Chains A and B, each alone.
Chain A
Amino acid sequence: MRIANRTIQFLFSLSFLILPLMASASGGHSESADKEFSATELINSHIGDSHEFHIADWNGHAISLPLPIILWTDNGLEIFSASEFHHDNTGHHVAKEKFVRYNEVIFYADKFETLKEEDKSAFNFAARPLDFSITKNVFSMLMSVIILLVLFITVARSYKKNSMAPKGLAGFLEPLVIFVRDDIAIPNIGEKKYGKYMPYLLTIFFFIWINNLIGLIPFFPFSSNLTGNIYFTFVMAFITFLITTLSANKAYWGHIFAPPVPKALYPIMWPVEIIGMFTKPFALMIRLFANITAGHIIILSLISLIYIFKTVAIAPVSGAFVLFMSVLEMLVAALQAYVFTLLSALFIGQAVEEHDHH
């Protein structure tokens, strides 16, 4: 216990020491450009996705890891490095003689010239090539996948050698696996059918959790906001929706198309029930996105206070708040992974439930 206490104390004091560095790393590039500091711009750039992984600023120059840009253009596939844009994000620098980047969206340079301001959006597919780049979030996702594969394959291997009580890494991760099985899968899906869905539930639990945690670490190669990105949560929720719908049994469809109400009410009930099928995963998508993004916005806002007040004196105050928020966000990281998995299990459980309780 005493060693653990000391470790925690050490980590706390260390985090206090690096807080000012963190603040400068976060705010540096806007400050160095010698223009008015904009918290909105800073926060938007940090919670959004990016074609390069920003590491730090040095003497006004951004140091970043350029990531591969993969474009499906009208003339086929184009792959090049994000460094071709020379950190330009305003649509001025033309890369490869064809492309410009504006707010992290890549447009055809010739079409971009004629675009009106409101048409310069990511959803203007006519003016831009399809973008399959390995962005910061994709990079971060690949990293999390590798970490999890290494961790869990190590654990899986350790069982071959050790048939006794689990030790080491297995001793740490096995209770979490059992937690997902005994407290999420079995109570919601049922003793008989849970086995089929266990790999999915375990995968999303650990996948979301580790990406939540990666988002909380404020320096390279972490700090991406993957689980706070609505495209990511959309895919995760959509997979849960697919699994729920595809494994649904007669009772589930019966509940939707022949609910236990007078037949005259069916025209009202059908839309309600069908909308209900989609609102459940929709809530999953919004919940994870909003919780994680909100946490990032709060932490970044607190750091921005230093630059808004333009004084170092505010640093300890916002540092203390950031520390508090970071600890809270660590709880939220685990909690949101749990909630996402729990609700997925609940929806699957409703879809495979044998008899109707009504």
Chain B
Amino acid sequence: MNFTSPESLVFWTTLIFVVFFLLMRKFAWKPILGAVKGREDSINNALLAAENAKKDMLNLKSDNEKLLAEARAERDLMIKEAREIKEKMIADAKSEAQVQGAAMIESAKATIESEKNAAMAELKNQVSSLSLEIAETLLKGELSNKEAQTKLVEKMLGDAKLN
């Protein structure tokens, strides 16, 4: 290798490199590294935001589930209450009906008794008037014959005993 004058290349390399370095630092590396850093930060932020959104979504979901569970419990409670009310109403109605029915039966029984009594009294009256008529007729017939009269009386007494 030809060793040409060292000062030329040493001088120019130093000068050119220093100027080149300063230019590159100001006009190339700073903007490029800044942009790369900025983009990395924005990507990291975006990822972080997505992560947070995911967490929020999870929270929201669990909130929703909680609400749903609450609603479900409330519904169950309402159904249970309704059922209880229904059963109570039915039971009340039943007992009311029983009471009323018993009262009606009672009054019907009383009416029937009184009707029966009245009918019996009527019947007795009828029977007595009929028997009086019969007795009158018979008496009219029998009183013409003494023996027949006695016989009749005895017979009648006997019948009366049978009754």
Which of A21-29, A148-156, A246-254, A317-325 lies at the interface with chain B?
A148-156
CA distance A239 to B12 in the complex (A): 14
Report the minimum CB–CB distance from B22 to chain A (whole Å): 9
* Chain A: CB-nearest residue to B33: A198
Contact of A48 among B4, B23, B31 (CB under 8 A): B4
Interface string of B3-17 (1 = CB under 8 A from A): 111111111111011
Chain A neighbourhood of B16, CB < 8 A = 138, 141-142, 145
Closest chain-A Cβ to B24's Cβ sits at a distance in Å of: 5
A-side interface mostly? helix
Taking chain B's interface residues, is the majority helix, strand, or loop, or is none over half, making it mixed?
helix
Cα distance A122–B12 in the bound complex, in angstroms:
17
* Complex-state Cα separation, A177 to B24, whole angstroms: 13
Q: Which chain B residues lie closer than 8 Å to A48 at the CB level?
A: 1-4
Structural contact, A199 and B1, CB atoms closer than 8 A: no
Q: How far is the CA of A234 from the CA of B16 in the complex (A)?
A: 14
The answer to whether the Cβ of A104 comes within 8 Å of any Cβ in the partner chain is: yes
- B9 in contact with A229 (CB, 8 Å): yes
Q: Return B10 CB to nearest CB of chain A, in Å.
A: 5
Within the assembled complex, what's the spacing in Å between the Cα atoms of A130 and B8? 8
CB 8 Å contact bits of A139-168 with B (1 = contact, 0 = none): 001100100110011011101100100000
A163 touches B39 (CB 8 A): yes
Chain B residues closer than 8 Å to A137, beta-carbon distance = 9
* B5 nearest CB neighbor, chain A only: A131
Q: Which of B1, B4, B12 contacts A141 (CB 8 A)?
A: B12
Footprint of A on B, CB under 8 Å? 1-14, 16-17, 20-21, 23-25, 27-36, 38-39, 42
Interface residues, chain A, CB within 8 Å of chain B?
44-45, 47-50, 103-106, 121-123, 128, 130-135, 137-138, 141-142, 145, 148-149, 152-153, 155-157, 159-160, 163, 174, 177-178, 181, 198-200, 202-203, 207, 229, 231-232, 234-236, 239, 293
Known: A132-B11, A202-B24. 7 other contacts (CB 8 A): A45-B2, A159-B32, A199-B29, A203-B29, A231-B13, A235-B9, A239-B17
- 8 closest A-B pairs by CB: A48-B2, A159-B35, A152-B28, A131-B5, A156-B31, A199-B25, A231-B9, A235-B13
